[in-house]
Amino acid sequence: MKTRAAVLYETNRPFEIEVLDLEPPHAGEVLVKVAAAGICRSDWHLVTGATQHPLPVVPGHEGAGVVEAVGEGVTGVGPGDHVVLNWAPNCGSCFYCLNNRPSLCATYIEPTWAGTMMDGTPRLSKNGQPIYHFCALACFAEYAVVPQESCVLLQKNVPFPVGALIGCAVTTGVGAVLNTAQVQAGSSVAVFGVGGVGLSTVMGAHLAGAVPLIAIDTVAARADVAKALGATHFVTAGSDTIEAIRDLTQGRGADYVFDTTGLPAVQEQSLEAVRPGGTVVLAGLAPMGSTTNLPGAVITRQEKTVTGTYYGSAYPLRDFPRYAELYLQGKLDLDRLITKTYTLDQINDAYADLVAGKLARGVMVF
Ligand SMILES: [Zn+2]
Ligand SMILES: [Zn+2]
């Protein structure tokens, strides 16, 4: 069959909308009619080259849609099911899965980063030339063939754009709070960066009962949305950021500090902003090859903990429906995360808006 899709042929070039050939799903694979796909910075990292990947590639890893057809041996989903796409499936039986670290599962990493399905081959092509799939999802396209392990059932009364965001930003941010840090009610929390992941972190911390809940961003205009989602205070990032956080936490610093920017300088600030004995959670991806300078003596003397969180330490099969249910019950106001919607043809405008800092989250709808 044919599908329209956004293709990145070379780094630092615009996406091109193309009609591609898409093979039907092989054994263990699922054909999904994509309904919504989030405009996430991780796809932009392919454009800048900060994330290296075989090219040409169809990006898109934050998606939701309807199952159109399934390959041989697929049991978990069938035609007509609504699904959220999971970019980091976990196998359930490896060392990491058995030790409660599902986001570290390595079983599917090799084919995923080769840009293929699990058998090492792509389903997309143009004039016989292979086109690679980002995260084995490639959902900046009308149709996507994905591994069955990447499909998580979505309640049918949840809108697709909300489902798409659960597939990346929400799981990353809310999971960083609930799964990775396990924030307790009454803890003080500071969140650096209030883009899609940062706002999701704010929502997760609000849900956990964090007080005060301090959001920090360079864009002062983000204060309204951060406060609407539960931040008790907003600090415009500047030279007095650390002092402002200490002033709000009896001079100590916050119990938990989340960095969602992935900027080494902000990661270093996060360590300053956390109180002695507190925990810094690094949720934003720093560019490959970058280094962050965290003073070891401070970590030792002040017993500070620095930890990473990847995909919100999620069990997607457990967490996606849980976050969707929290949305349905009004506990996670995911509609507010969505600043603007776009069509597939507007993808370059969408990324221009993201880079210009205009979006909490943009979503492509089909
Ligand atoms: Zn993402
Ligand atoms: Zn595993």
pLDDT at 50: 86
What pLDDT, in 10s, does the model give residues 134-164? 999 999 999 999 999 999 999 999 999 999 9
133: annotated active-site residue: no
CA distances to 137, 183, 204 from 209, in Å: 35, 8, 9
Rounded to the nearest whole angstrom, what is the distance from the C-alpha of residue 101 to the centroid of ligand 2?
8
42: annotated active-site residue: yes
What pLDDT, in 10s, does the model give residues 2-16? 999 999 999 999 999
Of all ligands present, the nearest one to the C-alpha of 260 is 1
Taking residues 296-316, what's their average pLDDT? 97
pLDDT averaged over the chain? 96
pLDDT at 8: 98
pLDDT at 360: 87
Q: Which residues 6+ apart lie within 8 Å of 53 measured at CB?
A: 46, 113, 115, 132, 134
The residues placing their C-beta within 5 Å of ligand 2, an ion, are 90-91, 94, 97, 105, 107
> Can you list the alpha helix ranges (DSSP code H) found in the chain?
41-48, 95-98, 109-113, 160-166, 169-175, 196-208, 223-228, 241-247, 264-273, 296-301, 316-328, 347-355
Spatial separation of the C-alpha atoms in residues 314 and 62, rounded to whole Å = 15
pLDDT at 12: 96
> What is the number of other CB atoms lying within 10 angstroms of the CB of residue 233?
17
45: annotated active-site residue: yes
For residues 137 and 23, the answer to whether their CB atoms sit within 8 Å is: no
> What is the number of other CB atoms lying within 10 angstroms of the CB of residue 129?
9
Of residues 11 and 289, the one with the higher pLDDT is: 11
Q: Which residues 6+ apart lie within 8 Å of 251 measured at CB?
A: none
For residues 192 and 269, the answer to whether their CB atoms sit within 8 Å is: yes
If pLDDT is split at 50, 70 and 90, which confidence band does 181 have? Answer: very high
pLDDT at 37: 98
pLDDT at 250: 97
What pLDDT, in 10s, does the model give residues 334-365? 999 999 999 999 999 999 999 998 888 999 99
The count of C-alpha atoms lying within 13 angstroms of the C-alpha of 220, restricted to the half-sphere facing its C-beta, is 2
Rounded to the nearest whole angstrom, what is the distance from the C-alpha of residue 77 to the centroid of ligand 1?
23
Taking residues 34-51, what's their average pLDDT? 94
If pLDDT is split at 50, 70 and 90, which confidence band does 286 have? Answer: confident
Rounded to the nearest whole angstrom, what is the distance from the C-alpha of residue 351 to the centroid of ligand 2?
33
CA distances to 8, 23, 115, 209, 298 from 133, in Å: 11, 13, 5, 39, 43
Q: Please pick, among 26, 53, 61, 125, the residue that the annotation labels catalytic.
A: 61
Rounded to the nearest whole angstrom, what is the distance from the C-alpha of residue 155 to the centroid of ligand 1?
21
Q: Please pick, among 97, 135, 168, 200, the residue that the annotation labels catalytic.
A: 168
If pLDDT is split at 50, 70 and 90, which confidence band does 287 have? Answer: confident
